[in-house]
Amino acid sequence: MRALLSTAIGGPETLTIGELPEPTPKPGEVVVAVKACAVNYPDVLVIEDKYQFKPPRPFAPGGEASGVVVSVGEGVSAFKPGDRVMGNSGMGAMAERVAFREAALYPLPAERSFEEGASMLLTYGTTIHALVDRGHIKAGDSLLVLGAAGGVGLAAVELGKALGARVVGAVSSEEKAQAVRDAGADDVLIYGRGPFSKEESKALADAFKAKAGPDGFNLVYDAVGGDYAEPALRSIAWEGRYLVIGFPAGIPRLPLNLTLLKSCDVCGVFWGAFAARDPQANRANIARLFELWAAGKIAPKVTGVFPLEQGGEAIARLGRRDAIGKLVVRVAE
């Protein structure tokens, strides 16, 4: 079967179209003919061996996909050949077929496209786990979202509003700011590109504080890291929750004296590990997302669709941090 393959450590330019053996479902597995595969930041890292997991080569990147069931393994009862599905495979989904664990799949609603289905679970699953399980969000909270125009960023804006928070989205351009306004943010802040000098860092902290108001942000959703982290932490409220999502701008070093002065929490958010450790709680979160999706309160924003041959270009665009919303690789019609 055709796949977009990583055969050597390197950037998106090293990816090539090649062949992999077709998967056969093991007990508890479902083989899916992939129609669409979303691009996520782990795809940027994994091909350079910078991700937590390093799959043996050759491998296909992509862990969030949708398609049609072609075969099921022993013990599978929830799906049958011909079902439209969406799910998280972990890796390997930029290929014509991929095997999923039954528990990692969900029915794709008839009214939703394959592109939409491929773009839902990772970003919104991460975000509902971050805001609800780790951030204990409640109506009336104030929420700062860094990188608010990206896939997880827009998910945080939408979910924050759906859960009753006042949401401020921070982005790097006016185009991104408009996308965040369209997603329902109450306010936006446009910041410059780091790294920042000491004076620039202080100015950004002051800008965050001005948007927060006198009490600070109850939650900070940080999907950026780098030099943006400390200024954001300085704007947090007493007993606020700082949610660590990702590091496209680099891994920050936070001055821990700030956590003492604000009596705040710094909370790591690792959705994949959470889903594996507590699948029942994760499925409850996903069920809640499907309800919000059906009610029109959340919806993945797909802004670019690439053929499989251009999957590397999609990954490169995400790595440059100039993408808005979700980019999707269309594997088959």
DSSP 235: T
Domain 2-120+300-330, second-level architecture: Alpha-Beta Complex (3.90)
Report the pLDDT averaged over residues 94-110. 97
Return the CATH superfamily for domain 123-272: Medium-chain alcohol dehydrogenases, catalytic domain (3.90.180.10)
Which whole number is the average pLDDT over 142-153?
Answer: 97
pLDDT digits (tens, 9 = 90+) for 8-40: 999 999 999 999 999 999 999 999 999 999 999
Please state, in angstroms and rounded to a whole number, the distance separating the CA atoms of residues 191 and 146: 10
What is the model's pLDDT at position 223? 96
Prior bond of 195 cis (ω within 30°): yes
CA angle 61, 17, 89 (to 5 degrees): 25
**One-character DSSP codes across 98-152:** EEEEGGGEEEPPTTS-HHHHHTTHHHHHHHHIIIIIIT---TT-EEEEETTTBHH
Structure tokens at 116: 């939409």
Q: What is the pLDDT of residue 321?
A: 84
Helix (H, G, I), strand (E, B) or coil at 241: strand
**Backbone Cα Rg of the chain:** 20
Which pLDDT value is given to residue 148? 97
CA angle 112, 116, 122 (to 5 degrees): 130
pLDDT at residue 322 is higher than 90: no
What pLDDT was estimated at residue 136? 98
220 has a pLDDT exceeding 90: yes
Asked whether the predicted pLDDT for residue 333 surpasses 90, the reply is no
Mean predicted confidence (pLDDT) in 292-311: 97
- What is the dihedral angle through the alpha carbons of 234, 238, 239, 245, rounded to the nearest 10 degrees? -30
Residues facing residue 31 across a β-bridge: 71, 99
pLDDT in tens, 166-196: 999 999 999 999 999 999 999 999 999 889 9
List, in order, residues 6 or more apart from 96 with CB less than 8 Å away. Answer: 1, 2, 3, 22, 33, 34, 331, 332
Condensed to tens digits (0 to 9), the pLDDT of residues 241-255 reads 999 999 999 999 999
pTM over 0.85: yes
Mean pLDDT within 78-86: 98
Burial string for 298-313 (b: 16+ CB within 10 Å, else e) reads bbbbbbbbbebebbbb
Taking only the tens place, the pLDDT of each residue in 52-71 is 889 999 999 999 999 999 99
Residue 52's pLDDT is 83
Domains 2-120+300-330 and 123-272 share a fold: yes
- Domain ranges, ordered by start, for the chain: 2-120+300-330, 123-272
